[in-house]
Amino acid sequence: MIFGRSERGKSPVEPVTLKILVAGGFGVGKTTCVGAVSEIKPLRTEEMLTEAGRPVDDTRGVEGKNTTTVAMDFGRITLREDLVLYLFGTPGQDRFWFLWDELATGALGAIVLADTRRLEDCFAAVDYFERRSIPFVIGVNCFEGAARYATDAVRQALDLDSDVPVVLCDARERESVKDVLVTVVQHAMRLAAERRQSVTT
């Protein structure tokens, strides 16, 4: 761009920005997920777990975890020249759920990360997005040493509608997380188109 004009006569591209939430239970990989894919240094609000929080912090299955997100994680990824996603990782513990409504405002959709060893931990997030009609996908974070299940088995265990995408992923791998984000955007756009069509018919 030279003196406010784009090169070769092209108009500057004004990207569409979309807000995506990354939710799920405590220790499921939300902070890792945002960090793996963000093109900027992620904003993190992690604090050390303390003895005072032991009675309310359920660390079963994640005994090695010694930090927790107390507000949110934030990252950004450009999927295309004209499409930028802002990622907001939600806190996973019940005592920080009052922040969810603020984070969910204006969200296009959400990833609900699931750990098959503690699948019940994502029920609350699934319920939250279903009640608010926010499109979501299930990202099954494939932890090392955890049993692998077919996506249909996970769908049945979570009692999901047939149109909710369930995808296997590795929250540590950029391309894997990127695939899940593309699935969220496509799913949300498809639902939006269906709603528009139902209004006009």
Cα separations (Å) of 136 from 21, 43, 191? 9, 23, 11
| pTM summary value | 0.80
pLDDT greater at residue 98 or residue 26: 26
Average pLDDT over residues 130-150: 94
**Cβ atoms of residues 92 and 148 within 8 Å:** no
> What is the third-level CATH fold of 14-200?
Rossmann fold (3.40.50)
Residue 65 pLDDT greater than 80, yes or no? no
% of the chain exceeding 70 in pLDDT: 77
Burial class (CB in 10 A: 0-12, 13-18, 19+), 146: middle
Pairing mode, strands 16-24 and 109-114: parallel
Domain boundaries, the chain: 14-200
pLDDT for res 182: 96
Angle at 103 between CA 77 and CA 23, to 5 degrees: 70
pLDDT greater at residue 35 or residue 14: 35
Average pLDDT over residues 45-74: 54
What's the number of CA atoms in the CB half-sphere (13 Å) around residue 60?
A: 8
What's the number of CA atoms in the CB half-sphere (13 Å) around residue 86?
A: 14
